[in-house]
Amino acid sequence: MIFIHNRPFIPYIEANAIQEAVLRIASQISKDYADEAPVLLGVLNGAFMFLSDLAKKIDLPVDISFMKVASYSGVSSTGQVKMHLGVSDEIRDRHVIIVEDIVDTGRSMAVVQNLVQEKKPKSIAVAALLHKPDALVEELDIKYLGFSIADKFVVGYGLDFDGIGRNLPEIFQLKD
Ligand code: IMP
Ligand code: MG
């Protein structure tokens, strides 16, 4: 068990299992986009580690770009999604793969998909390491998914609890 901001977290998904999921997704993407050069569009800050590992395992010439939205405060979603860094015009007519750490309510991803669509890409797909199906309020198609998880707060591998925990190589779950 570890403590972050005085709250207890238990080990949940170990580093090996994460890397296996990343490799599985990277292989799928390499196959699905054979002979293409997709853009990996990471949603900051949470997706930085997943995107970095994923990009290294994709056997294609990929472009890498980032955007930034935020909706979380502490351990729960505020329901309001704010844009902090916009989408590059360079994704026009490109195959875009939006890379997210986690889809929780799906509100951020709905906003992200609209912002990406406005730039007129050739196609849009979503890759998310984690998904909480019980928290979902927006209908979404996650083409590439690492793990479906329980509706409990998690940290590590890019995910933070009020700024802490992003650099942990494995994922921890809040103990209730
Ligand atoms: P959504 O808009 O509710 O789907 O929330 C998505 C964003 O909230 C994610 O991209 C994360 O940055 C953050 N988030 C959602 N669930 C968690 C969690 O369990 N731990 C840390 N951050 C989370
Ligand atoms: Mg995120």
Say which residue the tokens 């103990």 belong to.
175
How close is the Cα of 102 to the center of ligand 1, in Å?
6
* 3-class SS of residue 133: helix
The verdict on the CB of residue 71 being under 6 Å from ligand 1 is yes
Query: What ligand 1 atom has the least distance to the C-alpha of 47?
Result: 10
The per-residue pLDDT for 73 is 63
The alpha carbons of the chain give a radius of gyration, in whole angstroms, of 16
- Give the pLDDT score at 135: 85
| pLDDT mean across residues, the chain | 94
Q: What angle do CA 14, 1, 156 make, to 5 degrees?
A: 45
**Contact indicator for 85, 60 with CB cutoff of 8 Å:** no
* Tokens at 123, concatenated: 């196609």
How many Cβ atoms from other residues are within 10 Å of residue 143's Cβ? Answer: 15
As given in the structure block, the two tokens for residue 127 are 């890759």
Which residue puts its alpha carbon closest to atom 21 of ligand 1?
A: 159
Question: What's the rounded mean pLDDT across residues 92-101?
Answer: 98
Structure tokens at 86: 């916009």
**Average pLDDT, integer, range 93-112:** 95
- Residue 117: partners with Cβ closer than 8 Å, 6 or more residues away: 124
Query: Mean per-residue pLDDT for 159-166?
Result: 96
**Phi then psi for 28, rounded to 5 degrees?**
-60, -45
Average of per-residue pLDDT across 126-140: 91
DSSP conformation class of 135: G
Share of the chain above pLDDT 90, in %: 82
Give the pLDDT mean for 97-112: 94
* CA 111 to centroid of ligand 1, rounded, Å: 13
Query: DSSP characters for 7-52?
Result: EEEEEEE-HHHHHHHHHHHHHHHHHHTTT---EEEEEETTTHHHHH
Place of tokens 């290294």: 56
Residue 89 known to be catalytic? no
Q: Is 153 in the pocket of ligand 1 (CB under 6 A)?
A: yes
Using the atom order of ligand 1, give the atom closest to the CA of residue 72.
8
**Considering the entire predicted model, what is its pTM?**
0.94
pLDDT of residue 127: 98
Residue 91 has pLDDT above 80, yes or no: yes
User: Which tens digits make up the pLDDT trace of 15-43?
Assistant: 999 999 999 999 999 999 999 999 999 99
